[in-house]
Amino acid sequence: MALFRLTAAAITGFALWKLFQRGKVREEPVAFAAGEAHGPNFAKVRNAGPEGMRSDPVDWDKVDEASDESFPASDPPAY
């Protein structure tokens, strides 16, 4: 009986969550800066560097910049 109640509570919670999420529209993808996902960016790849990120990194140096610019290449930068 307890398993039935737990299952019913989980289904009810999930249904309420889906009902609540129905009205929300995600305008920007998570990894992109504001306005970066629209326009000629058909490949859905963000620009390199911290200006292309939604959140600002705490530390950003030339190694981070070179690594971000080389993505998705398989070889890391030579720094």
Confidence of residue 3 (pLDDT cuts 50, 70, 90): very high
Backbone CA torsion sign across 60, 65, 67, 72: positive
Report CA-CA distances (Å) from 24 to 9, 29, 34.
23, 14, 18
Residue 77 domain-assigned?
Answer: no
Higher pLDDT, 40 or 65: 65
Q: Which of 49, 50, 29, 51 is nearest to 41 (CA)?
A: 29
Higher pLDDT, 64 or 40: 64
State the pLDDT at residue 71.
75
Residue 75 domain-assigned?
Answer: no
Domain count, the chain: 1
Residue 51 domain-assigned?
Answer: yes
> Which residue range is the domain that position 32 belongs to?
28-70
DSSP state of 50: G
Distance of CA 38 to the CA centre of its chain: 15
